[in-house]
Structures are given as structure tokens and as C-alpha cells.
């Protein structure tokens, strides 16, 4: 039989571990765009419209080119949930529906965050996401309001 004191110690340890794990920095996701995007901020709805391929042009008229990581990538999941307010499977359904109906296309999937940064930096109109900090003068970090 376990004593009350042991149970209390186990509970205290569990709470401390949970607090420590919750406070670990998992990386802030940054919404990023090519430096010529012409905007410094997007609303959450505008970001959703870009990533669901429904908003096709930037305010300056430049064609938007959307880059994403694979559906099972942890950063893609966090970005989808926390920035867009969607689950990755919801994004996939939207893209698949547009492809199969012939009304649109899916974004370009890149294999790594490094490739994401390279493609956004070198593609006019590009939009994507990455873990901060980003130190590339060709990439603009967008605020999401």
C-alpha cells in the first residue's frame, strides 16, 4: 500500500514535470513572404485565404505562390493549428476538392524548412512559414492579427 506522503510526492513531481514541459519553447512559427509582397501584416482570415488557395494575388497584384511542408510535419501541424486555426486534414480536404473539381490547385510542398526559406526568398510573391528567427533580407516576416 502506498502512503499518502508518497502519493503527494508523486503528484508534486508530476505537476512540476508538466509545468516544465509546458514552458519549453517549441518554436514560434513565423508567417513569411518574399520581400516584395508589399504588406507587413495579414489578418488570420487573409492568411487562411492564401493557404487555402482562395486568395491568389497580393494587394500589389503580384501572383501569390504558396509553399507548405508535408502534412505530417510537426511545424506544418503547429502552423495550421495556431496561426490558421485549422487542422492539416482540413487544409488537405480544401486542396483536394479544388484539384478534383478542376477549380484550383494545391500549394507547392517543400521537403524541409531550409528549402521553404530558400524558395520563399527566391520566388516573387511567395508565402510560407518557418520557425524563427529568420535572418534573410529577401524574406519578410508578416504579423498575423
Could you report the per-residue pLDDT of 66-90, keeping only the tens digit for each?
999 999 999 999 999 999 999 999 9
Distances (CA, A) of 35 to 41, 129, 139: 13, 14, 5
Could you report the per-residue pLDDT of 11-27, keeping only the tens digit for each?
455 444 444 443 333 44
Return the number of other C-beta atoms located less than 10 Å from residue 84's C-beta: 23
Q: What is the pLDDT of residue 133?
A: 84
Return the number of other C-beta atoms located less than 10 Å from residue 136's C-beta: 14
Distances (CA, A) of 73 to 46, 53, 76, 88, 105: 23, 20, 5, 10, 20
Q: 139-144 and 29-34 as β-strands: parallel, antiparallel, unpaired?
A: antiparallel
Cell 484550383 locates to 104
The percent of residues in the chain predicted with pLDDT above 90, rounded, is: 77
Mean pLDDT by groups of 10 residues along the chain of 145 residues: 58 46 50 95 97 96 97 96 96 97 95 97 98 91 94
Which residue in 44, 92, 47 sits closest to 70, CA to CA?
92
Q: Which domains does the chain have, with CATH numbers?
A: 26-144 (3.40.190.10)
Amino acid at each position: 500500500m502506498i502512503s499518502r506522503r508518497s502519493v503527494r510526492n508523486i503528484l508534486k513531481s508530476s505537476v512540476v514535470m508538466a509545468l516544465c514541459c509546458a514552458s519549453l519553447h517549441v518554436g514560434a512559427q513565423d508567417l513569411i513572404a518574399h520581400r516584395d509582397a508589399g504588406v507587413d501584416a495579414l489578418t488570420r482570415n487573409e492568411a487562411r485565404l492564401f493557404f487555402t488557395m482562395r486568395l491568389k494575388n497580393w494587394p500589389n497584384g503580384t501572383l501569390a505562390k504558396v509553399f507548405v511542408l508535408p502534412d505530417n510535419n510537426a511545424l506544418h501541424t503547429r502552423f495550421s493549428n495556431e496561426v490558421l486555426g485549422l487542422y492539416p486534414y482540413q487544409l488537405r480536404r480544401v486542396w483536394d476538392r479544388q484539384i478534383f473539381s478542376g477549380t484550383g490547385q494545391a500549394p507547392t510542398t517543400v521537403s524541409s524548412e531550409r528549402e521553404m526559406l530558400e524558395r520563399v526568398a527566391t520566388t516573387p510573391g511567395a508565402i510560407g512559414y518557418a520557425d524563427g528567427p529568420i535572418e534573410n533580407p529577401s524574406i519578410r516576416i508578416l504579423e498575423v492579427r
